[in-house]
Amino acid sequence: MFFANALVILWLSQPLVYANMLPVAFGRGGKPIDFGLVAPDGRPLLGPGKTWPGLFGGLFFAVMLTFGLVVVAIAFERHELYDLWGLSFTAFIVHATTLAAGALLGDLLKSYLKRRRGLERGQAWPIIDQFDAVIGGFALTAMVDWPWFREAFITRWSAVLFMFLVYYVVHRCVSFIGYRLGLKSAPH
Ligand code: CTP
Ligand code: MG
């Protein structure tokens, strides 16, 4: 039961995981979201690490990638994997979008707070760097459709806690690999 729940949480977390990983592939050379604006404290509002192509490329392809895997699931006659999203195509789009958009907004909020704390682009803010996307994705989804969020995530809370741990480890590994491949400027 616990294992099955953990797989459900992993399956439903896809949009926020992709939304957290994809921007690095689109951001290079893109216009910064803050247009280079500087806050009253003399530091960038968000910094050059948050770009428009990263934001919208990340959002669009996170939803498309999730959709692609849902199509694969249906092709393999695992319709229940589609039903988990909320029993209609609209529900799927809404929930995949809020999970991905929330992850991206959480990341933006984190960068805003990092700059206010005097941390440069790419400087580490332990724990927050690893969980901004999960917290953002969950928060936006819970706000937009609390009944679905409660049924999908809250009722599986112990699996969610476990996935937080998995997510932490995966995030550290993926970031490190991205750094070694030269995709990311910092290993976190
Ligand atoms: N990225 C982007 N647009 C976003 C988010 C990320 O273009 N909305 C790209 C940037 O090239 C960024 C890279 O993905 O450098 C890695 O993302 P992240 O680790 O979130 O940014 P950092 O460079 O570490 O910046 P910050 O200190 O603000 O987190
Ligand atoms: Mg970072």
72: in domain: yes
50: in domain: yes
125: in domain: yes
pLDDT of 163 = 86
Q: What's the structural domain count of the chain?
A: 1
pLDDT of 5 = 96
Q: Note down the domain range covering 141.
A: 2-180
188: in domain: no
pLDDT of 186 = 83
Q: What is the pTM of this model?
A: 0.94
169: in domain: yes
pLDDT of 187 = 84
84: in domain: yes
SS (H, E, C) the chain: CHHHHHHHHHHHHHHHHHHHHCHHHHCCCCCECCCCCECCCCCECCCCCCEHHHHHHHHHHHHHHHHHHHHHHHHCCCHHHHHCCCCCHHHHHHHHHHHHHHHHHHHHHHHHHHHHCCCCCCCCCCCHHHHHHHHHHHHHHHHHCHHHHHHHCHHHHHHHHHHHHHHHHHHHHHHHHHHHCCCCCCCC
Nearest ligand to the CA of 62 is: 1
Q: pLDDT means per 10 residues in the chain (188 residues)?
A: 94 96 93 97 96 98 98 97 96 98 98 97 92 96 98 97 89 89 84
Q: Give the residues surrounding ligand 1 with Cβ less than 6 Å away.
A: 23-24, 27, 30, 47, 49-51, 54-55, 104, 107, 111, 114, 121-123, 184-186
185: in domain: no
